[in-house]
Structure 1
Amino acid sequence: MPPLVFLLATAVFAQGTSEFLLAGLLNDIAADLDTTVPAAGMLTSAFAVGMIVGAPSMAVASRRLPPRLALTAFLAAFIAMHVIGAATTSYVVLFVSRIVAAFANAGFLAVTLATVAALVTPDRISRAVAMILAGTTLALVLGVPAGTLVGTLLDWRAALWAIVLLSVPALIAVAIAAPDRRTRRADTSLTAECAALQNRSLIRVLVLCALINGATFCSFTYLAPVVTDRADLHPASIPLVLALFGAGALCGVWSAGRYGDRYASRITAIGGPALLGGWCCFALLAQFPTVVLLLAFVQGGLSFALGSILVSQVMRTAVDAPTMSGSFATASLNIGAAAGPALGGWAYGSTLGSVGPLAVSAALVSVALILPRS
């Protein structure tokens, strides 16, 4: 695997940490900026929306630029927005900085996926994509808890400064090591790329990405109340369950990278029904602590393995859209990441209570399994 892939994964780790970091620091932000907790919560929503809109728009804006220039510019803008956010005393300025940072993040990830797809041979795309997505997975498992701890011990601004410190070495590495020339495939016209993106098989895979990722984050967001309310475990068990989910996710991404290039069809054919069965069992048996511990690991693994395989399929299917395919994959993942928790919140507030998000995850995977193939 080219060393650049590891460098890009490091930058994706920092950006993924930033995406979810402020969710654990809402009370401190609200008190410091003299606003409400719900208003502070909108900072995370703004970032998600910025990722969805920013992925295709930034891909269009940067498609004629050499990868080194585009990646460096996006990462520099991302860092600058965190400096501004950490220094400001205005909620409005912080809100705007989060949106701009999300656009930069989305552009960076879209160009990254297109770049790694061009760097490796077709039989290694799954492995390269898995390495990039491992950065996002590690952000959830390690980055967000560590950043939240820094913000709790110091203040929320220190957490943003930590993102800056983590991103600067990645910026230097990208500025030195990223390709400084576009590939020949990148000369494809935007009209031709848009036409290629209308492929029905590709659209199906993009919808699957959104559904599977939506199911993942729907339940992941509400695992804490499942642990305490349904399984009746002590609140101290919450980090353990989240860690098990994260460990499973890492195993899933590794498995997708290791076997996805050879056995993609087999993994999706078996993994999809297994994921559905897992969410159903989770919802029905969440009152049993052993089941919660086991399925947290299993569902994390299946969810991220399938998600990684699907992103690889996007890159393979959209071979005639080399600069735009990564942006559409990024947007679809973030549509799921934004819609899943919203649907989970609605279900949690219903009569289903804490098992509601688990049931919604099962429903989303069910829809994915019955989508027509043509």
Structure 2
Amino acid sequence: MRPISYSRASAVADAVAAVAADPTSDFLAGGTTEVDLLRQNVLLPRRLVDINDLPLTQIEDRPDGGLYIGALARMSEVAEAPAVRERFPMVAQALVLGASAQLRNMASMGGNMMQRVRCGYFRDATSLCNKRDPGSGCSALDGFNRGHAVLGVSEHCIATHPSDVAVPLMALDARIHTEGPHGRQVYAIDDFFLLPGDTPHLEHPLAHGELVVGIEVPGLRMARDSRYLKVRDRESYEFALASVAAAVTMEDGVIRDVRLALGGVATKPWRARRAEEILRGAPAGTETFRRAAREELSAARSTPLNAFKTELAQRTMIRVLETLTSPESRPDPETPTESPS
């Protein structure tokens, strides 16, 4: 049994100072991932600083129609907030589909942004893993990697990013606010999540002791009719094999603007910029959607076990785009959207 010291912070500055001063310390919020990793000897902090007393639970309107969500707002609270359900339904859908009710009631929004990968080799302290032990190797490359990434991979890591809600936040160009030893920082969400490259152990650009304090979601009128489609092995709580967050505006059958992001297939929440470029200004239709999806997945690097994800991601993109551009097939925006195929 490893001894771990524990303290509670009542102010952001105190929490930051406590963790920054001790390289073996870490923040503790909902603990839905961290406690598991502690038990598995994957994370080895000697001190935990509980931040649950910090005043970071707000869900505030912004003048542009956007929202500022405190890092300690629970996933369940955000999913049920009328402003989120009305203005950003794909965020609410991703939160509901992202975890069981018990986990949603505990897990925080900031913690979700910081959660570690679900790769079984990362969570097995005896396996080779460059994320856990830089330079040791990657057992997933030649191991059981059916659920692993096909986009954004490197020869050092192919672990899939696990977050559902980070996918629509990526499509919305959200910004992550932090407080740290060097003061306030604001990160564009695409910069907040790092590709593995040669340094897969670096998942974020944060300094030690830098704390996520909030998520800023810009106002986007088209997001009111957005969707999050998640494909998984079973209907109950399960990680995505492929998922898509999408919002589309059309005029006279032509796509004027589109936001697309993918989950379940990449090493970070994946903004589908190639597909967006093809779709903007193009006529809405299945052939256009197929061309855009095919181009987005043209960079996929798969293994024999996860090669199916390339086509699955394309089909999922086509399905959600058809849904958004066909009024007669649009589901109730209050209902979480998913499909088994």
TM beyond 0.5 = no
Q: What's the TM-score, normalizing by structure 2?
A: 0.33
Kindly indicate whether structure 1 or structure 2 has the higher relative contact order, using CA contacts under 8 Å at least 6 residues apart: 1
Q: Normalized per residue, which structure has more strand?
A: 2
Q: Normalized per residue, which structure has more helix?
A: 1
Q: What's the TM-score, normalizing by structure 1?
A: 0.30
